[in-house]
Structure 1
Amino acid sequence: TNTLSVPTAANALISYTLDKAGNEDVRSVNAVVGETNDGYLNDIRGRHITEKHVLDAISSAESGQVEEGNVGAGTGTRCFGYKGGIGTASRVVPEKFGGYTVGVLVQSNFGGVFQFNGIPVAKILNNYPNSFKYDVDGSCMMVVITDAPLDARNLERLAKRAMLGLARTGGIASNGSGDYVIAVSVAKQNAGNSASDELVQKKSLLKNEAMSPLFLACIEATEEAIYNSLFTAESMSGRDGNNLEKIPIKKIIELVKNSKNNKSIKD
């Protein structure tokens, strides 16, 4: 969500949890809410997000194709000076490395010097900040989910690799930019059973030596998710007449085609 709607979203998550069947005796809920500041387009001081919005989003969640671009928390975001948004991507590591999936969702709302597949797009198009006091846009929220059986320590290691994916797009974690990663393992074999009377719980954990393929998967998926958030976003006008244009996809395609010949592009 946006920065000033975190309390509302957290309260909605608490209500959702308390109202779930089987949670009648629950008296403690630690809600986790990610945010970026979309105040350039959004009337953020108006705090228009309600608990109903959050609960509706939860109830309508389903599997399948994920909406990207100007949706949800990505509606008002900007990235590299263009319209940002929500983006997703995933990787499946080879079976010989476990066959695990690493999925990434991003809320792109950050700055830097944009590059695509190693091509310095921002420099070629002269679309990058020229002052050290430039507007840092407002952060990036990244969520990494895997079915690999990882403990908190290796989830932290995996989360750190998402920052490498952000860097591959030209993001520089600018001064004032809060770039955060939440990593979660949904390994079924480690699902807890609070009703069990056993004093000791047994869990399967992936070896440290087997983490590298997951690291690469996380880096690639994060990079692609950021690109997807940009390429699916549309131009948008917001508060006080502020406007953000969508990324110039046709120009980038031309740059990619010409990159082998080291050609530039004309506006």
Structure 2
Amino acid sequence: MSSASNTIGTEESARMGLRDLLPTLYLGSWKPGPLNSLTDVPGVLVHSQEIFANNGAVNTGVTSILPCRDWFYKACYSGIFRFNGSGEMTGSHWIEETGLLHSPIVITNSFAVGAAYQGIYEYALKHLGTTKGSVDWFLLPVVAETFDGYLNDLTQFAVTPQHIVRGLENVSSNPVREGNVGGGTGMICHYFKGGTGSSSRVVEGLDVKGDPKTYTVGVLVQANYGRPHHFRIAGVPVGRILAEEAEEAAKSNPAIKMAREELERERDRKDGSIIVIIATDAPLHPIQLQRLAKRATVGLSRVGGYGHNPSGDIFLAFSTGNAIPVQSISMERRAVDPYKPTPVAVDIVDDSSINGLFEAAADATEESIYNALCMAETMVGNGGRRIEALPLGRVRAIMERWR
């Protein structure tokens, strides 16, 4: 495998986030964090890596997220929402059972779930220790996927457990890289090159003493869904306009027409998916986090996602606002008596005051999808298939005309 990219850059395709492309566009009431990234949430760490083959057939990758450095012993409250279930997120039953996330989150392609699952265990064995021949702890890895089989040769199983270990060893608080990166490397969104996108919002609130405090909501998406004519920016039917232009161009260019028809056949078979990860430092309990995860649907629908039948639209939200002890009972240690109910002190946001966080999650999801599209570059992938980047110059012109 090679680290050389199969992307194609041109002067017109110089990439930038949506805020740089359309600086006057209204993107909600809440300001972004300093990085406008998932890593604006204190303690959250991310790494992305791409995997290519010299012959152009492999175009895939891995995105690794740690909710906190001490995730193995201190769980986060979390919640999941399934908008449409034609996809996978392992560990979800345990999250729904307990409301606890005490695993890394890995996002990759559909055929790499097993390798990612094993890789999380290998990382835990390497860094958290174990008695030789015995494991004295409990861990259910959280791995999510979307399908990149149009641009990537899935049959090569390019992602290995070693990629996962490397990713988890190199997580950082740097801004999330966007576009054709990480698990989003080979993804397609609204028939344009899709991938990884991120954004954040800062919400003013109060702490438990009633003093002013700000809370951050950060979002990361792996966007791989959607029909071209459904794509909208702030309500403007950008996708429909671009689709009509493409159809006109295809009339005089048989190669363009053939490529479009092939992609449409592929999308009729499998419409793709989107994974949304929402993090916040606001102290929310699991039911509140389920509700927060649902708000990703609002952001997705604004851009043009419908949750079609073959789409896997799965959203996970977690809070770093409380650290819940785990690994407290094992074969060799018993920090608590499992038959004596023992309270744990936590802070919880009043439900009546949660609306700003809901808005922030929806707005940051919307912008994350835009950023995935705006930052992604044209790619030639498996079998010479070509997916164009969103034409930012045309997008700017369309938005200026409509607004």
**TM-score strictly above 0.5:** yes
Q: 1:33 aligns with which of 124, 143, 146?
A: 143
CA distance change for structure 1 residues 18 and 213 in 2, over 3 Å: closer, same or farther? same
1:104 paired to 2:219: yes
Equivalent residue, structure 1, for 2:237: 120
* Partner Cα separation in structure 2 for residue 136 and residue 225 of structure 1: 23
Q: TM-score, normalised by structure 2?
A: 0.60
Return the offset for 1:15. 1.6
Equivalent residue, structure 2, for 1:157: 291
Secondary structure of the residue aligned to 1:179 is strand
Q: TM-score, normalised by structure 1?
A: 0.90
Return the offset for 1:79. 0.2
Equivalent residue, structure 1, for 2:94: none
Equivalent residue, structure 2, for 1:242: 385
1:192 paired to 2:325: yes
> Aligned residues, how many?
259
* Partner Cα separation in structure 1 for residue 129 and residue 169 of structure 2: 18
* Partner Cα separation in structure 2 for residue 247 and residue 89 of structure 1: 19
* Partner Cα separation in structure 2 for residue 211 and residue 190 of structure 1: 20
Equivalent residue, structure 2, for 1:220: 363
* Partner Cα separation in structure 1 for residue 168 and residue 129 of structure 2: 18
Contact residue 166 and residue 222 of structure 1 kept, 8 A: yes
105-114 or 89-98, larger mean C-alpha shift: 89-98
> Which amino acid in 2 is paired with 1:120?
P
Equivalent residue, structure 1, for 2:25: none
> Which amino acid in 2 is paired with 1:116?
I
Contact residue 271 and residue 310 of structure 2 kept, 8 A: no
1:11 paired to 2:118: yes
* Partner Cα separation in structure 1 for residue 239 and residue 112 of structure 2: 32
Equivalent residue, structure 1, for 2:351: 208
Equivalent residue, structure 2, for 1:61: 171
* Partner Cα separation in structure 1 for residue 193 and residue 352 of structure 2: 40
Contact residue 79 and residue 137 of structure 1 kept, 8 A: no
1:21 paired to 2:128: yes
Equivalent residue, structure 2, for 1:264: none
Q: What CA RMSD, in Å, does the superposition of the two structures yield over aligned residues?
A: 2.3
Q: Could you say which structure has the higher strand fraction?
A: 2
Return the offset for 1:19. 2.7
Name the larger-Rg structure.
2
* Partner Cα separation in structure 2 for residue 80 and residue 193 of structure 1: 41
> Which amino acid in 2 is paired with 1:30?
L
Q: 1:230 aligns with which of 373, 379, 389?
A: 373
Return the offset for 1:186. 0.9
